[in-house]
Structure 1
Amino acid sequence: MSETASPAPKTPVDFWFDPVCPWAWMTSRWVLEVEKVRDIEIHWHVMSLAVLNEDRLDELPEEYARNMRPGGSTWAPVRVVTAAQQLYGDEAVGRLYTALGTRFHNQRLGVNRDSIAAALADAGLPADLIDHSDKDTYDTELRASHKEGIDKVGQEVGTPVIAVPGPDGTEVAFFGPVVTPAPQGEHAARLWDGTLAVASVPGFYELKRTRTKGPDFSNL
C-alpha cells in the first residue's frame, strides 16, 4: 500500500499595511494575484502612518500632518481594522482591508466614516466596529503590530512592508515592492520570483528608482 505524499507547505508572506496608503493597496493587490499562481499564504498585519510619523509631524506638509494628528482621518481605519482583528480574528483583517481599500482607492469615496461603515457591511462585520474609529481601546495592539513590522526594516521606510523566507528559512523583510499598476498573471508571478531571489542574497538591502507616475488603479 503506497503512502500519499503530503502537500508541500505554502510559502508564508507577512504583509504590513495602512489602509489609507495607495501604494500599500497596489502592492496588496499584487500579492493577491501572486496567490493565484504561486503557493503562498498571506498573513495580514496593520501598521500606521500616523504612528510612523508622530515624532516628525512638524516636518510634514500641514494637510498631511493634520490627518496624522490625534483625531485625524488616518487613525480611524487602522483602529477599526485592529478592533476587527482583536474581536473577530486574523481572517477578518484581509476581508476588511479589501473592502476599505476598494472604497478609499478604487472608488475614491474618501477616508471617512461613511466609507468605513460601508466597508464593514461589505466585509460582513458588525456595524458597531465603527465605534472604534475614535477610540484608543486597541492602540496598544495596533502599536505592537506596527513595531513588529517596522523593526524588521527600520524607521526610514513606510508602508507596505513584506516579509518572506530567506535562504535559511528566516524572514527577510523589505519596504515594497512599490509598483503601479498592480501586476497580474505571469507578470505578478515574475515579480514575486524576483522578490524571493533578492531575499536569497545575503546583505541585499535596496533597489530603487524615482517614481514618475502616481498610483494607477485602472486594472483593479
Structure 2
Amino acid sequence: MVTINGTPEPERCSVPFWFDPMCPWAWITSRWLLEVEKVRPVRADWRIMSLSYLNLVQRQGEGLSEDYRELMDRAWGPVRVCAAAVEHGGREVLGPLYTGIGTRLHTQRRRKDPTVLTEALAHAGLPESLAAAATSTDFDHLIAASHTEATDLVGLDVGTPVLRVGGTALFGPVVSPAPRGEAAGRLWDGLLLIAETEGFFELKRTRNTRASFD
C-alpha cells in the first residue's frame, strides 16, 4: 500500500482488544486506540469479553452489591448481541457494531433505551433481528470462549479492557478522557516500553474522576 506522497505505508501491527460494550472505561480506551491508528502503524483487532461472565460465572457473584448485580444482569444483552453478530458476519463486524453501541450507551447516555441495540445493528449494516440475542443464551459459549482467551492471559483480578501488545497482554490503559492525536501516540509508545519489560505487572492509582467521553 502507498500513501498519497508516494511513501510506502508501514505494515500495521494487529492489536487484539477485548471489550465489554457496557464498560465506560473500555469505551474510552477503545476511542484512544482508534486515535493511535491515525498516528502509529497499528490496527485494532476487536474481541469481546464480558463483565457479566467474569462476575457472575467466574467469580460466582462473590461480593457484588445489589445495584452492581443488577447492572451485570443488564450487561448480558449488549455482549450477547455482539457474539451473535460475530457468528453472523465474522469478527470484522465488531468494530462498527461496537462504535454503534458505545456511542449510544456512553456518549449519548442512553443506557436503558431498548432501541439502542437495533439502532446499532442498523448502523453496522447488520440485521436488526440479531437484537433478539440479548435475551438468549444461545451465544453464551462464544462469549465464554472469547472472554476466557483474555483472562487466560491476564488472570481474573482485572476487568475490561484487555489488549495484547506483541506477546504481552495487559489490562487497560484506563484513562479519561481519551488522548487525541500525537498524545495518543505517545501513550502507545509508553505502553510498548512497558510491554517489552520482562517481569512488569502493575502500575495503578486511585481514580478520582468520572469517565469522560469528550
1:201 and 2:201 correspond: no
Q: Give the corresponding residue for 1:17.
A: 19
User: What do residues 15-73 of structure 1 show as CA deviations (whole Å, max 9, x unaligned)?
Assistant: 000000000000000000000001112110000000100134251110111232xxx21
What is the TM-score with the length of structure 2 in the denominator? 0.92
Cα distance in structure 2, aligned partners of 1:123 and 1:11: 24
Equivalent in 66, 69, 72 of residue 65 of structure 1: 69
Q: Give the corresponding residue for 1:188.
A: 184
Report the residue type matching 1:12 in the other structure. Answer: S
Cα distance in structure 1, aligned partners of 2:211 and 2:178: 9
Cα distance in structure 1, aligned partners of 2:78 and 2:94: 12
SS of the aligned residue for 1:125 comes to: coil
Report the residue type matching 2:22 in the other structure. Answer: V
CA contact (8 A) 2:55 2:62 kept: no
RMSD over aligned Cα, in angstroms?
Answer: 1.4
User: Any runs of at least 4 consecutive aligned residues in structure 1 with deviations exceeding 3 A, and if so which?
Assistant: 5-8
SS of the aligned residue for 2:74 comes to: coil
Higher mean displacement: 130-139 or 92-101: 130-139
Cα distance in structure 2, aligned partners of 1:128 and 1:24: 26
Higher mean displacement: 131-140 or 30-39: 131-140
Aligned residues: 206
Report the residue type matching 1:67 in the other structure. Answer: L
CA contact (8 A) 1:58 1:65 kept: no
What is the TM-score with the length of structure 1 in the denominator? 0.90
Equivalent in 29, 32, 45 of residue 31 of structure 2: 29
Cα distance in structure 2, aligned partners of 1:31 and 1:208: 20
Q: CA deviation at 1:89?
A: 1.1
CA contact (8 A) 1:153 1:173 kept: yes
Report the residue type matching 1:64 in the other structure. Answer: Y
SS of the aligned residue for 2:34 comes to: helix
Higher mean displacement: 183-192 or 84-93: 84-93
CA contact (8 A) 2:154 2:169 kept: yes
Unaligned runs of 5+ in 2: 1-6
Cα distance in structure 2, aligned partners of 1:112 and 1:90: 25
Q: Give the corresponding residue for 2:86.
A: 85
Q: Give the corresponding residue for 2:146.
A: 145
Q: Give the corresponding residue for 1:217.
A: 213
SS of the aligned residue for 2:45 comes to: strand
Unaligned runs of 5+ in 1: 166-170
Alignment of 1:115-130 (within 5 A): 115-130=116-131
User: What do residues 85-134 of structure 1 show as CA deviations (whole Å, max 9, x unaligned)?
Assistant: 11111111011000000000000011443111111111111110001111
Cα distance in structure 1, aligned partners of 2:70 and 2:61: 8
Q: Give the corresponding residue for 1:168.
A: none
1:163 and 2:159 correspond: no
CA contact (8 A) 1:73 1:112 kept: no
